[in-house]
Structure 1
Amino acid sequence: MSRQNMAGPFEAAISEREGTAPSNAKIEVESLDKRDIRTLSRDPQVRAIAPVMPITLVRPVDMEGTQPEPEAAATGPTWGVKAVGADVSALTGSGVTVCVLDTGIDAGHKAFSGVTLVQKDFTGSGNGDKQGHGTHCAGTIFGRDVDGTRIGVARGVTKALIGKVLGDDGSGSTDGILSGIQWAAVEQNAHVISMSIGIDLPGFVRQQVEAGMPADLATSAALQAYRANVRAFDALMGMVRSREVFENGSVIVAAAGNASRRQVNPDFEIGVEMPAAADGVISVAALQQPARALQVAPFSNTFANISAPGVGVISARLGGGLLSLNGTSMAAPHVAGIAALWWEQILTTAVPATTARAAVVAKLLASATTNGFAPGVDPADRGVGLVQAP
């Protein structure tokens, strides 16, 4: 039985061990009582302690009338690849290592032909994708052309890390995300990490209620656990950034979340969810393209850092072929792919390795465009604008 399906006092502790490599984070999961927590909290090597919470993929959204069928799509670049300028960029992501933390990958899909895939399972369900979500996201970042359709933003990437942090049912736990980030950034030295996942706060409440806790107490416990996990993610992000003194550092990109409901009422919107809201993570909103101008998708959470195509995004389908999906899950991989292009450019310049990540982030955000948006689009919803390739 996986931890995410169990009620119990499981806690994830992030520590930084002395005498090891700089910022060598260690993530441990134990069943702790209050005395244990008090003892650990006094340990100067322990950076954060947080209850293990359930996570889930940021599920695609049905939007009738906005999804072009893959069979009807013209050959050539998808609208997302063209919108971000990847189709006219001379850069391909060559020499850049990207990581996708998601449901795994369909390694046999032709979109990933020629790519070295380093897979690691953090769920206990084994490598491989049974959901299709991770396969679709990976296709947008570095997928090769499929039957004449270009789906990949950075199709020159030849090495990709695939961290399976969501099981075959699309769920996981926060310690899996934390461990996945630590594996990719610290152990594998990934240049770019992409996440289209979110903490399942309602699921945590439901777990506690099913275990016998009154609903009001379960809600309070969930909020306290969420707060502790925010601190844990921030602590890990700080440790990852501190490695830049010794390594190239990692640009971490995440989907903002699909919980807003502007199609019902313009005021029905919520802010960026975790882990996209963690300190140092680039959060991504989803854009749609009606007849004339870009708009923020009605489901896209507000206060994102940047935006990218997220409606009618065609990418790799589990088992072969192509599939069109909607969501901030589909937007984040566009930004991850553009980050890979900026990394390629920075790596060929005289920028010191210790400032390379900061330079990539600066280029990524500063080059975004606000051209092409419909009048009245709220800057808080679209961030600095539509991500653009170098």
Structure 2
Amino acid sequence: MDRKYIVLRDKSFTVLQEPFGGGAAALDHGDIPSEPRVETADLTKREVRDLARDPEVKAIAAAIPTDLIRPVSDSEAGAVVSATAAAGSTWGVSAVGADLSTRTGAGVTVAVLDTGIDASHPAFAGVTLKEADFSGSGTGDVQGHGTHCAGTIFGRDVEGTRIGVAPGVTTALIGKVLGNDGSGDSEMLFHGIQWAVQEGAQVISMSLGFDFPGLVKALVGQGWPVELATSEALEAYRANLRMFDALMQLIRSNAPFTKGTLVIAAAGNESKRQINPDFEIGVSLPAAAEGVVSIGALGQGANGLSIAPFSNTFPQISAPGVGVISAKAGGGLVSFNGTSMATPHVAGVAALWWEDVAASSLPVNAQTVTARLLANADITALAPGVDVADRGVGLVRAP
């Protein structure tokens, strides 16, 4: 039975015929940039095995469902916020120190891979938005999720309220990798990442996850027994993790030629600490992939910032993710909760650090920016007793 597969190739990998009929010798040139190419094909299992022998092929994975990491509800989340009520800077912008930083993200190109964007929102006035649709549903943002995330990264002030961490960003890449219903698949995501890297993104922000339960449900709907469906879904999940690892390695290997790309992703909202402190889930894909900076969510408390009960454990760094006010699709402002909201705070701060590193004597590349981002995290603003496993190195801070 044919199934949709994603194939990751490195086109810089060449096979040269050895002289005197000695066979082929595969040469992976370390002195030239890698050329990652994401392809899609309907293949049988036998064709997958045959294709895996191709030295250009770095990974093969069945396409699996993806979904936006949906905002977590409370009595206030999802509420439309007036500019008067939110006057000044949002608490998240202030918490990460962006309102006091001399950096604005000027000269940095940021990519948001999400549900699209409401390009007509006043928060994005003056920003050159390059949009690409990988979902098949057209550009624009029906869900409002991508608009909210983009607003936190580089949104301009809305009626006197500062919502953007890096309002000096003037070029943004908007890859719509989730459709109008908020869902997609890993094919869309991998194509979106490839596009963003090719377009020169220095920072990529992703507030989405892989829908493992959805894949199991789909297989059961096709007649698979539950046990087999779960095993098959697990293998597909593992294959997509290996593909992410391979793609991130190719991106990192290009750092000497392109300065690299810093990829940031939400840890996920599956934990349920409000029910039982032990109900914690580890960071999910794509944040769990090697080379991706994973983000946990913090909320305000009487004794300092604490980890949000929904935030998955073992992130690398944390940021404001509860009661986050940002741009609302259709106009105005809205408050959301989630690691989806924490992630764009870190993406915005990463843009500030990229600008800061560019003005210094340090090597200007994604590795340096990542090191500065993580090394300057703060734990003094956190409430006593916040577990390092839940918050990573601490609260992200602007230069």
**Fold shared per TM-score above 0.5:** yes
* Kept in 1: contact 2:357–2:363 (CA 8 A): no
1:383 alignment counterpart:
392
How large is the Cα RMSD of the aligned pairs? 1.5
Q: Could you tell me the percent identity over the aligned residues?
A: 60
Residues 1:49 and 2:60 aligned together: yes
The 3 A distance-change label for structure 1 pair 294 and 280 is: same
2:361 alignment counterpart:
350
The 3 A distance-change label for structure 1 pair 211 and 348 is: same
1:95 alignment counterpart:
107
1:122 alignment counterpart:
134
How far the C-alpha of 1:352 sits from its partner, in A, is 3.5
Structure-to-structure mapping, 1:193-208, within 5 angstroms: 193-208=204-219
The 3 A distance-change label for structure 1 pair 287 and 277 is: same
The 3 A distance-change label for structure 1 pair 67 and 312 is: farther
How far the C-alpha of 1:208 sits from its partner, in A, is 0.4
Cα distance in 2 for partners of 1:226, 1:254 equals 17
How big is each residue's C-alpha offset from its partner over 1:15-65, in whole Å with a ceiling of 9 and x where there is no partner?
011379722111111111122111111111100000100000000001236
Q: Aligned to 1:234, what secondary structure does the other structure show?
A: helix
Q: Which residue identity is paired with 2:37? A: K
133-142 or 207-216: which moved more? 207-216
How big is each residue's C-alpha offset from its partner over 1:114-164, in whole Å with a ceiling of 9 and x where there is no partner?
000000110111111111000000000000000111000000000000000
Cα distance in 2 for partners of 1:131, 1:23 equals 36
Residues 1:14 and 2:8 aligned together: yes
Cα distance in 2 for partners of 1:65, 1:133 equals 17
Q: Aligned to 1:246, what secondary structure does the other structure show?
A: helix
How big is each residue's C-alpha offset from its partner over 1:159-207, in whole Å with a ceiling of 9 and x where there is no partner?
000000000000011011111111111x112110000000000010011
Structure-to-structure mapping, 1:84-233, within 5 angstroms: 84-185=96-197, 187-233=198-244
2:382 alignment counterpart:
373
Residues 1:29 and 2:23 aligned together: no
Residues 1:76 and 2:88 aligned together: yes
The 3 A distance-change label for structure 1 pair 78 and 385 is: same
Cα distance in 1 for partners of 2:35, 2:115 equals 26
1:3 alignment counterpart:
none
5+ residue gaps, structure 1: 1-6
Q: Aligned to 2:55, what secondary structure does the other structure show?
A: coil
Q: Which residue identity is paired with 1:73? A: A
1:63 alignment counterpart:
74
Q: Which has the larger radius of gyration?
A: 2
Cα distance in 1 for partners of 2:77, 2:213 equals 29
Q: Which residue identity is paired with 1:14? A: L
Q: TM-score, normalised by structure 1?
A: 0.95
Q: Which residue identity is paired with 2:367? A: A
Cα distance in 1 for partners of 2:170, 2:276 equals 44
* Kept in 2: contact 1:99–1:194 (CA 8 A): yes
Cα distance in 2 for partners of 1:65, 1:346 equals 38
Q: Which residue identity is paired with 1:85? A: G
* Kept in 2: contact 1:14–1:27 (CA 8 A): yes
The 3 A distance-change label for structure 1 pair 66 and 126 is: closer
How big is each residue's C-alpha offset from its partner over 1:287-325, in whole Å with a ceiling of 9 and x where there is no partner?
000233111000000000000000000000010000000
The 3 A distance-change label for structure 1 pair 359 and 315 is: same
* Kept in 1: contact 2:216–2:230 (CA 8 A): yes
5+ residue gaps, structure 2: 15-31
Q: Aligned to 1:387, what secondary structure does the other structure show?
A: coil
1:4 alignment counterpart:
none
Q: Aligned to 1:189, what secondary structure does the other structure show?
A: coil
Cα distance in 1 for partners of 2:271, 2:262 equals 26
Cα distance in 2 for partners of 1:275, 1:77 equals 30
How far the C-alpha of 1:69 sits from its partner, in A, is 5.9
Q: Which residue identity is paired with 2:165? A: V
Cα distance in 1 for partners of 2:117, 2:101 equals 27
Q: Aligned to 2:204, what secondary structure does the other structure show?
A: strand
Q: Which residue identity is paired with 2:373? A: L
1:359 alignment counterpart:
368
Q: TM-score, normalised by structure 2?
A: 0.93
